Chains A and B, each alone.
Chain A
Amino acid sequence: MYTFKHGVHPDECKELAKDKPIRVVSAGKTLVFPMQQHIGAKAKPCVKVGDNVLMGQIIGEADGIISANVLSSVSGKVTAIEERLVVGGQKVESIVIENDEKYDAIKGFGVERDFNSLSNEEIIRIVKDAGIVGLGGASFPTHVKLSPKDPNKIDYILVNGAECEPYLTSDYRLMIEETETLVKGLQCMLKLFPRAKGVICVEDNKRDAYDKITKACSSISNIETALMKTKYPQGGERQLIFAITGRKINVSVLPADAGCLVDNVDTVVSIGNAVCKSTPLLRRIITLSGDAYNETANLNVRFGISYKEIVDFAGGFKVNPEKMVSGGPMMGLPIFSLDMPVSKNSSALLAFTKDPLSNQNETNCINCGRCVSACPINLVPTRMLKAAKTGNFEEYIKLNGTECITCGSCSFVCPAKKPLTPYFSYMKFAVRGYLNSKKEAK
């Protein structure tokens, strides 16, 4: 079985939502589309207030090399272009569309296509037009990932089905329910990289998904499946690459430079949908889980629908939650309002009646070394914390703090309940600023 070194074992809590089939959420009257749902430059609105738009129409154009299109997930009328609150707390320029509930689609929408009849350039253009970004959380524009300097150097395409975050079951449901499209999507990607082998990687707590995929691709020579140990962060890009290929990359190396492309299950399914079914990325699968819900659910949600609407759709709260998280509990973002739209980077919506962090008793660091044994990057988190707290950037860099992937493992295991990861997330930016000012001073 494939795995990496160190890591942690949080309670999986997947049984809460694991057996809930994906249901489609019906869209409400008003949908909101932020222009920044991806890493890179903000998309530029290409419609005006008052315009009528079709389902699947590009309403925000990719602006720059690393950027992604934003598409309307319904047909209707643009009622406003204004700043709206998004997950993370910022306000982002957004297009507000009034749903006419006709779902008139753009031309050619839903037409079946054979990917073998398409050229590589056409496939990449389709992926770009479809607005596809990595749906695992980082939201890197997929068409950029699919266009590395030398496609012949890529020998692995890894489909990340680890879903190592607790509570999350959306990728699991997709692997079970959309096995065909997943394999199709991977075949489209493999067409771009003639020397590559596709590996669909699944953690061993999702054995049935693994078996189903293995069966589905048994006759395809360049696709394999790999069963990985259930451990967090097995689905981290660098951990996954190491587990499967044995290659180790640091923060300054792109996976492509190590001959690997890593994409999340939902991303690959989206590629399959866009290329083979002419259906651009208009939705994502979201897990609603946690003890505050009446009913947990796996939902197929059109972008632009507000969190409040999907909570109501699923059946609302049993008790008002004290903590809500967009994404998994290890790396997700806390949210403070449900008045935000579902976007490409929202992978789950967790609701807890009790905030597990509210009664933590912080003590001095006792130097126990649990953070060292947990760190998948081999760092010494407690020493990094000391350097971070005292603003000692040189020491922080010397300790390789810039390699931190902010996976949260160190904070998770810390018996002294130190806020390790929050400091490291901050230092990611602070160190960059420090290095820039140092360069300027020279």
Chain B
Amino acid sequence: MDLKLNVQSSPHVRDRISTSAIMLDVIIALIPATVWGILRFGVHAAIVVAVAVISAVLSETLFNIIVKKPNTIGDLSCVVTGLILGLNMPPEVPFFVPAVGSFFAIVIVKMLFGGLGQNFMNPALAGRCFCIISFAGFMNNFTSRMSVDAYTSATPLIILKSGNEVNLFDMLFGYIPGTIGEISAICLLLGAIYLAVKKIIDLRIPILYIVSFVIFIMIFGQGKSTNINYILGEVLGGGLIFGAFFMATDYATSPITPLGKVLYGILLGVLTGIFRLFGKSGESVSYVILISNLLVPLIESFTIPTAFGKEGK
């Protein structure tokens, strides 16, 4: 018997889960929000999303060619980054903006720091903020030629800030102005449920984020603390749902330790509360997540769990 046997260290079996399967699940989870955004805002929005994704894939390919590394687009993470960035674009933005944004997100934020999992900031969010700073006029224009009602240009947060009531039904089902992917809370939550059921995301971060944010605005909300319309409007508006479930849960830029996840969620909620109540910018969620990303190494450093049997020692 002439046997040729493979020899590798244990364990000799592996779970079916893989990096690309996880990324594919995130893409699947974003389909409802993407479809709804395109239905609401039309062909232009569809092209914006496509440009963001294609630019992300091309940027990563190009980078790998230049630095002579194997192409890593097969892990699908660049598709996720491009998709999230595309969904964070206003519907009528010129096509070069998502193209530049994706390039920045992939090359500067992700690949230059070592690629997948090595980035210290969420690439899609960093790309979005880069666009907001660079192309403020385009990025803050939420009018859409598809919807012609009276509130087209005023986002719910602006309405709330001016002391008026918002239509919660419209916010839930996505009849409000906003970026392509953030407008329908229902579509986003459907995706979030999918990710939670498939155990892709840890619900501690998004739930603590939202809960601590609600508690914060109830305490410091200046007389509006019991106004249900105000509180739900704040939760459903301004991309908080999108940010909490799809961006704050980004693996690479959130703490890996269980206690760290808890602290991180609370930090996000409190910072968002501060920015929303006392700040001027409407872009609180993006900046809050980016700032918190930077604190992740610090949070992890003091939340390393106690090893089994080492308690109290």
Contact of B9 among A356, A378, A419 (CB under 8 A): A419
- Which listed segment binds A: B10-18, B30-38, B158-166, B173-181? B10-18
Residues in B whose Cβ lies below 8 Å from that of A372: 256-258, 305
Residues in B whose Cβ lies below 8 Å from that of A308: 1
Q: When A408-B10, A413-B17, A421-B10 are in contact, do A376 and B308 touch as well, CB less than 8 Å?
A: yes
State how many angstroms separate the Cβ of A308 from the closest Cβ of chain B. 7
B115-A334 in contact (CB<8A): no
Asked whether B116 is an interface residue with its Cβ less than 8 Å from the other chain, the reply is: yes
A250-B252 in contact (CB<8A): no
A238-B304 in contact (CB<8A): no
Asked whether A117 is an interface residue with its Cβ less than 8 Å from the other chain, the reply is: no
Asked whether A176 is an interface residue with its Cβ less than 8 Å from the other chain, the reply is: no
State how many angstroms separate the Cβ of A179 from the closest Cβ of chain B. 30
A248-B13 in contact (CB<8A): no
Asked whether A54 is an interface residue with its Cβ less than 8 Å from the other chain, the reply is: no
Task: A413 to B19: give the CA distance in the assembly, Å.
Answer: 11
B258-A323 in contact (CB<8A): no
| A contact face: mostly helix, strand, loop, or mixed | loop
Q: When A363-B75, A415-B21 are in contact, do A334 and B8 touch as well, CB less than 8 Å?
A: yes
Contact of B5 among A332, A335, A380 (CB under 8 A): A335
Q: When A8-B15, A412-B15, A413-B15 are in contact, do A364 and B1 touch as well, CB less than 8 Å?
A: no
Q: When A379-B307, A403-B307 are in contact, do A337 and B14 touch as well, CB less than 8 Å?
A: no
Asked whether B168 is an interface residue with its Cβ less than 8 Å from the other chain, the reply is: no
B114-A250 in contact (CB<8A): no
Residues in B whose Cβ lies below 8 Å from that of A366: 19, 22, 77, 116-117, 251-252
B252-A367 in contact (CB<8A): yes
B5-A408 in contact (CB<8A): no
In the complex, per-residue mask of B295-313: 1 if CB is within 8 Å of any chain A CB, else 0 = 0000000001111111101
The tally of CB-CB contacts under 8 A between chains A and B is 173
B256-A367 in contact (CB<8A): yes
B12-A357 in contact (CB<8A): yes
Residues in A whose Cβ lies below 8 Å from that of B22: 366, 368, 415
Asked whether A95 is an interface residue with its Cβ less than 8 Å from the other chain, the reply is: no
Asked whether B148 is an interface residue with its Cβ less than 8 Å from the other chain, the reply is: no
A325-B9 in contact (CB<8A): no
Asked whether A320 is an interface residue with its Cβ less than 8 Å from the other chain, the reply is: yes
A369-B14 in contact (CB<8A): no
A363-B251 in contact (CB<8A): no
Residue in B closest to A362 when the chains form the complex, CB atoms:
B19
Asked whether A329 is an interface residue with its Cβ less than 8 Å from the other chain, the reply is: yes
Within 273-306 of A, Cβ neighbours of B (below 8 Å) are at none
Q: When A357-B12, A383-B256, A415-B22 are in contact, do A368 and B251 touch as well, CB less than 8 Å?
A: yes
State how many angstroms separate the Cβ of A149 from the closest Cβ of chain B. 20
Q: When A323-B5, A329-B11, A422-B9 are in contact, do A248 and B311 touch as well, CB less than 8 Å?
A: yes
Task: A378 to B305: give the CA distance in the assembly, Å.
Answer: 6
Q: Given contacts A361-B74, A363-B116, could you give 11 more A-B pairs where the C-beta distance is less than 8 Å?
A: A248-B311, A355-B6, A357-B14, A361-B18, A363-B18, A366-B117, A368-B251, A369-B251, A399-B304, A403-B309, A415-B18
Q: Which 6 A-B pairs have the closest CB atoms?
A: A408-B11, A250-B309, A422-B9, A400-B307, A364-B116, A377-B308
Q: B-contacting residues of A (Cβ < 8 Å)?
A: 8, 10-11, 166, 238, 242, 248-251, 253, 308, 320-325, 329-338, 350, 352, 355-358, 360-361, 363-370, 372, 376-380, 382-383, 399-400, 403, 406, 408, 411-417, 419, 421-422, 425
Instruction: List, sorted by A's number, 22 A–B pairs whose CB atoms are closer than 8 Å.
Output: A323-B6, A332-B12, A334-B10, A335-B7, A336-B7, A337-B3, A356-B14, A357-B14, A358-B6, A363-B116, A364-B72, A367-B117, A372-B305, A408-B10, A413-B15, A414-B15, A415-B22, A416-B18, A416-B117, A419-B9, A422-B8, A425-B9
